[in-house]
Amino acid sequence: MAPGPLSRPTASSDSPTASRDLHSAQLQTRSPNSLFVMLVFVDRIRAALTEATGLPSDQIRVEQPRDAALGDFAFPCFPLAKVKRAAPPAIAAELAGELNANLPGIEAVATGPYINFRVDRTLLATTVVESILDQDSAFGTSQEGAGKTIVIDFSSPNIAKPMHVGHLRSTIIGASIQRMHDALGYKTVGVNHIGDWGSQFGKLCAAIARWGDELDLDNDPIPALLALYVRYHEEEEADPSLADEARAAFRELESGAEGKIRDTWKRLTELSLRELNKIYERLGVSFDLIRGESFYESMLDQTVERIESTGITSISEGALVVDLSEFDKKLPPCLLRKTDGTTLYATRDFAAVFHRWEEFAFERCLYVVAAQQKLHFRQMKIVLERMQLDWVERVEHIDFGMLRLGEGKMSTREGKIVFLEELLDRAVSEARTIVSEKNPDLAKSADVAEIVGIGAVIFHDLKKERIKDVVFDWNEVLSFEGETGPYVQYTHARLASILRKAEALGEGGAEADYSRLDEAAPILLALGRFPDVIRSAAQHCEPSEIAQYLLSLCRETSSWYSRERVLGQEPSLTAARLSLVRCAKLVIGKGLQLLGVVAPDEM
RNA sequence: GCGCCCGUAGCUCAGCUGGAUAGAGCACCGGAUUUCUAAUCCGGAAGUCACAGGUUCGAGUCCUGUCGGGCGCGCCA
């Protein structure tokens, strides 16, 4: 491809989309009373501390001890040292006694300058397990976002180009952010702002006008289009008249005139969308709206007029711009119209954001777009600010790091590229090999291989903080051991297997004795944190928080079930452990679903 | 040149609004399977948290500077 940019340049050098159904059997957002389990304990501790210290409860920070052996929660006494004019360890020792009297079921122990709290194991197990079983699939969800709308612009590839690994990030991250907000009761609108407009399509239409007869667009059209695009670029260098032709074609397109150019463009869009959807389907991604830049075509004039009417525009070197240098000397101007009168990326983004505001009155409008475009969004926000729109703050660029293939940027032209389809195919094929090795008798092994292969790819992309750059490495993506998606899926499958066996053996009917789950305290504490994790991840738009949480939960769980046997114990013990298994499976499954990874019951 | 982002074990990464001896995975060494999937678990070895200052009772975490890497800087998207 061309050296050119993508619609929303992905984390590489090009860009495209997906959705949330397959996977998202959307979180049901019920249970308005859904208690944040750990909050039950933390609130009590905080209240007791308020009582004992006189500090306002919002100033009391209850944290987790470094070492879990110390306790479940901790309160550092340093801030009290000044007020009380005593050494922190002395304060801790003094407070511990008082706290113990006021916190039935929670033990307070002074350790140096800290007070560590340990919840009674039976109380912990009962509270967490019952809370989860009670809320079932609604566990972790809430209604805190009810009545608020979040618009999420993600994936947004350019049409007429193949999707490559660089397009994965926006798609996967955006879809996950949408699911997290769904879980919190927000109304979410996932928008695929596909790149179906701009001078590049002038080029493509001109190319088709010249050589289109040689094309077979019905079968596998994208590579053919790509070749055409590249050819146009090459010949353009020798013959500058091609550039004029392309410009003329885009001008005609943007004029709205019906005719050959417009027909060609329509056909391109349809063909491309069909291809894109194949990938989205495999990734389990869907959109509420597929609105390309062309959707805003009819609004461009009024958009420019609207900005002009606020008096902040000017003409610079023949182009219509908003000068930003008085705001920040370092900032280049924002271009709204080229010398030839046509619009730019920014113009269309303004049209889109105005339209979205009018349609949705969003709480937040998130742009899941590569960090490379920081300047673009910064300029956009400053223009909105200068227009004195009071909703500027709701517009946020959710940026993420670039994906590179070893040296330098990806370049379709130079063949330095990994196509998305190839990546998915290889991952699935690798999964197929491993499935047949590890579990030759598995019934639906082909389905499982698809789930595991794709799961590995998605999880790999989401486990790191999104701002970090990624150097693409086949060995890393195709790894199914250690901190990977398949590891989490495997943990889920084994828990499912235990439940299946219990069912078959008719075990678990007895009344559970939760006092027997003390060995599982780390798991219970982790399970109880889940609702908080979702909330935090959504607020930060950071799927890696969920991925990291799942890894640590799975570590605890795997370690536990390698030590403790569930089936065939005393009935009350088996029942208690089965309940724990049920809870862990539920949370792991739900966490994976938020990431867009399918949780298999067997693999 | 200017601006933004990143810099934690050999490699890839965690480390919540600054808090108690910096945690995982991979790779390496050594163990665990007549019982719920060994895609697993347990143990060992491995770090001057890029460097230098500063703020603080306390800094991997905040501030400044330096170095290294990435990205961006008007008629592309």
Q: From the alpha carbon of A548, which nucleotide's C1' atom is closest?
A: B14
What is A54-72 written as a DSSP string? ---GGG---B--SSGGG-S
10 Å CB burial of residue A133 (0-12, 13-18, 19+) is middle
Please classify residue A14 by burial: count the beta carbons closer than 10 Å to its beta carbon, then call 0-12 exposed, 13-18 middle and 19+ buried.
buried
- C1' (B45) to CA (A156) span, angstroms: 47
Active site residues of A: 161, 164, 167
What is the rounded CA–CA span in Å between residue A191 and residue A386? 26
Spatial CA neighbour of A142 closest among A538, A492, A552, A540: A538
The span from the CA of A205 to the CA of A404, in Å, is 30
pLDDT value of position A17: 31
Say how far apart CA A545 and CA A7 lie, in whole Å: 28
DSSP lists the bridge partners of residue A411 as: A416
What pLDDT is stored for residue A393 in this prediction?
Answer: 93
The ipTM is 0.97
Q: CA A494 – C1' B19 distance (Å)?
A: 39
The predicted pLDDT at position A254 comes to 81
pTM: 0.92
- Separation of alpha carbons A302 and A351, rounded Å: 8
DSSP per-residue codes, A334-355: EEEE-TTS-B-HHHHHHHHHHH
pLDDT at residue number A406 = 67
* The token pair that represents A533 in the structure block: 């994790």
d(CA A230, CA A1): 6
Chain B: positions less than 7 Å from a protein CB are 2-6, 12-17, 19-27, 35-42, 57-58, 69-77
Nucleotide nearest A338, from its CA to each C1': B75
Residue ranges in chain A modelled with pLDDT below 50:
1-6, 11-34
Nearest Cα to Cα of residue A15 among A7, A23, A3: A7
**Predicted local confidence at residue A35, as pLDDT:** 55
Residue A495: which nucleotide is closest by CA–C1'?
B36
Give the C-alpha distances (Å, rounded to integers) separating A372 from A9, A12, A183, A402, A418: 8, 9, 30, 8, 20
CB atoms within 10 A of CB A237: 9
% helix / strand / coil in chain A, to the nearest 5? 55, 10, 35
Residue with tokens 């008082």: A98
Q: Are A546 and A595 in contact (CB under 8 A)?
A: yes
Which ranges in A284-344 belong to alpha helices (H)? Answer: 300-309
Report the greatest alpha carbon distance in chain A: 88
Angstrom distance, A382 CA to B67 C1': 33
Tokens of A404: 């590179």
A504: enclosing H helix or E strand: helix A485-505
Instruction: Please write the tens of the pLDDT for every residue from A306-363.
Output: 999 999 999 999 999 999 987 777 789 999 999 999 899 999 999 999 999 999 999 9
Q: What is the pLDDT of residue A240?
A: 84
**Protein residue with the closest CA to the C1' atom of nucleotide B12:** A476
Within a 13 Å sphere around the CA of A161, how many CA atoms are in the beta-carbon half? 36
Rounded CA-CA distance A428/A455 in Å is 9
How many Å does it take to go from CA A205 to C1' B15? 52
What pLDDT shows up at residue A209?
87
pLDDT attached to residue A16 = 30
